[in-house]
C-alpha cells in the first residue's frame, strides 16, 4: 500500500492547522511548509484539494491563509486520505473482475482494503495530535 507522500503532507498540514484551531487568524502556506519541511508550491496544490472537499477553509488576500473547516475530532484520517488520493481506498482498484478466479481474489483483496480503512476511519485528527503530544501517556491510558 502506498499512501504516497501526498497524504502524509496533507496530514502534517492539518496537524498544524489544528494547532492553531482556536486562533482568530488563519495560517499561511509558507508557515506550514517551513514548519513541516514541505515544498510550499506542492503543498499549495494539496491544500486546494482539501479546500474543494470542504475539509479546510481559505482566506484570500493579505493576512490570508488556511484554517480547519470542521472541528478536529470530526475529521477522520480516512476522509483526508480518500480526498487527497482522489479515490475510495476502501475498495480495490481496476475493473470489477469477470472470471471466478478473479472474483475470488477480489474478495480477499476487498477484505484487506476494508481492514486497512477501518484503522484510518477509527482515528481522528484530534486523536492523531494527542498521540503526537504524549504518546507514552496515551498508551498507558489504553491499558487502563
Question: Is 4 a binder of DNA (CB under 7 A)?
Answer: yes
Give me the least distance between CB of 84 and DNA, in Å please: 9
With CB under 8 A as the contact rule, the residue among 41, 62, 63, 99 that binds its own copies is 99
* Nearest partner of 55 among 72, 33, 34, 43, judged by Cα: 72
Give me the least distance between CB of 42 and DNA, in Å please: 4
* Nearest partner of 39 among 1, 13, 62, judged by Cα: 13
What distances in angstroms separate CA 92 from CA 45, 64, 107, 131, one per listed residue? 26, 39, 9, 29
Question: Is 54 a binder of DNA (CB under 7 A)?
Answer: no
CA distance 23 to 27: 9
Residues at the interface with its own copies (CB under 8 A): 1-3, 5, 8, 11-12, 15, 36-37, 77, 89, 92-94, 99-105, 107-109, 111-113, 115-120, 123, 128-129, 131-132, 135
Amino acid at each position: 500500500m502506498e499512501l504516497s507522500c501526498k497524504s502524509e503532507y496533507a496530514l502534517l498540514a492539518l496537524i498544524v492547522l489544528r494547532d492553531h484551531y482556536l486562533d482568530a487568524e488563519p495560517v499561511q502556506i509558507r508557515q506550514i511548509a517551513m514548519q513541516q519541511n514541505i515544498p510550499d508550491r506542492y503543498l499549495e496544490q494539496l491544500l486546494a484539494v482539501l479546500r474543494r472537499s470542504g475539509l479546510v477553509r481559505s482566506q484570500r488576500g493579505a493576512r490570508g491563509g488556511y484554517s480547519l473547516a470542521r472541528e478536529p475530532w470530526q475529521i477522520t484520517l480516512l476522509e483526508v486520505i480518500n480526498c487527497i488520493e482522489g479515490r475510495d481506498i476502501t475498495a480495490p482498484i481496476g475493473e470489477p473482475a469477470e472470471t471466478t478466479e478473479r472474483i475470488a481474489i477480489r474478495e480477499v483483496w476487498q477484505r484487506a482494503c476494508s481492514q486497512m480503512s477501518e484503522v484510518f476511519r477509527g482515528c481522528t485528527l484530534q486523536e492523531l495530535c494527542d498521540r503526537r503530544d504524549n504518546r507514552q501517556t496515551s498508551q498507558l491510558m489504553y491499558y487502563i
